[in-house]
Amino acid sequence: MPLSMPEKGPLSTSTRRLVAINFLQQLGFQSTYFVGIIGCATYILGAGALEISILVFCLNVFLVVGTFCAGVVIDAIGPRRTLVVSLAAMSVAGFLGWLAPVSYPVLYLMGIMNGFLFGVGTTAMDAYPRYMVDGRGELKRMNSLNNTATCLSVIVGPTLGGTMTTIFPTQYVFAILALCVLPAIWLVWVTPETVCPQRDQGDERRGAKAFFDDIGEGIKITFTHDELRLLFFIGFMGFFCYGAFDSLESLFYRDYLKVGTEWMGWLSAFAGVGSTIGSLFILRVPSKRLSMKLLSAFLLLTGVGSMVYTGTPYLLCAVIGQILTGLGFGAMGPVRSTLTQERCDPSYVGRVVSVMRVGLNSAGVLPLLVAPFLADAFGVQPVLFGASTLTALISGAFIVYTARRSV
């Protein structure tokens, strides 16, 4: 039986370690993805919307691939060993970005490596709580604290990365990724899973067919379960429009807000402030109140916040919009994770979590294919504002649907 822990009381050593691991992993990625990879492309290589879209498309495709692969691996060997390997490889990628000359091939390789490894690592972190505790109350608390760590990394990471670009060449932000995940590796190694799920020890299947069979089983479990299927579509449709942001956001900063590279980090940090508040707010929400209607309401907040963020050329409005958007995203994370985990047995939670994350990550891939052409036709800012508006409309439809189903 899984270990049951109270919703209130002092935090266990394992919980504190998980929160620290998540913070360090997220810090490495958050400080280098936007400011490092996209920043180098935009400000050093002078990339336009098409070049950035291709770069982000490669990262997102391998993020999806890594997420899909992670589910099977986690269910086979557990999140602990999966994280150790992915974190070590992330450190190697950081040294590569830090030391190699800036060029498109290097940035593409960095995008591919970071996408794949971040997909593996975040999926393992999403599954880890289900290997540690049972019961909605403590799952909610652990997920809220983990999500808070992610939100704090969105503040610290881009702020640190943006500040570094005012002192050192932009490329030096990759040093953060190279070094900060090293203590996380040790923390993972000394944090074994508490829950040992039932696995078929006699199953000796090997090779690609067994691997893809396991992926297919995770997809089947997700889409034959009514509530898991609804959670998947809320995530996918809600995040669909945000793909345009990945390829156009840096151009919005440069051409509309008229700010330098450092503001790529600092504005992201304001989103992190909002996310931290939103994530901590969920700790105050009674466990019985967690529902898909509440999840959809927070998604609506992200859409409205993004409309404020991208609707004007004024920096103050962008700051306010980032905070509002962050509030929604920060609250959504622990709600979505808790609702997913409590509907899964530990023996297949890795695969279901990977399918959920694939839905979130792949949702942003398709807009990348059309965003540059829409930007050429209508302008960067109108496309971003339109995507934000569509997100708000989609989330409103989910609020109506989930209210009628009372889920």
Q: Does the structural domain 13-181+211-405 have CATH classification 1.20.1250.20?
A: yes
- Confidence at 205, pLDDT banded by 50, 70, 90: low
Q: State the residue for tokens 């609804």.
A: 230
Q: Is the pTM of this model over 0.85?
A: no
The closest alpha carbon to 368, from 29, 64, 94, 31, belongs to: 64
> CA-CA distance, 319 to 309, in Å (whole number)?
7
**Domain segments of the chain: what residues?**
13-181+211-405
What is the predicted pLDDT for the residue at 407? 66
d(CA 159, CA 319): 14
As a whole number of angstroms, the distance between CA 321 and CA 326 comes to: 8
Helix (H, G, I), strand (E, B) or coil at 173: helix
Q: How confident is the model at residue 6 (pLDDT cuts 50, 70, 90)?
A: very low
* Residue 371 backbone zone (phi > 0: left; psi -120 to 50: alpha; other: beta): alpha
Give the pLDDT confidence of 117-130 residue by residue, as tens digits.
999 999 999 888 88
Which structure tokens are listed for 36? 């490092």
Beta bridge partners, 134, equal 4
- Residues 86 and 69: their CA atoms lie apart, in Å, by 12
Residue-wise pLDDT for 75-100, tens only, equals 888 899 999 999 999 999 999 989 88
Cα–Cα distance for residue pair 295/82, rounded to 1 Å: 29
Cα gap 35→170, rounded to integer Å: 8
State residue 199's pLDDT score: 56
197, pLDDT greater than 90: no
Task: For residue 339, give every residue at least 6 positions away whose Cβ sits within 8 Å of its Cβ, in sequence order, or none.
Answer: 227, 231, 290, 291, 292, 295
Q: Is the pLDDT of residue 359 over 90?
A: no
Lowest mean per-residue pLDDT among 30-44, 238-252, 367-381: 238-252
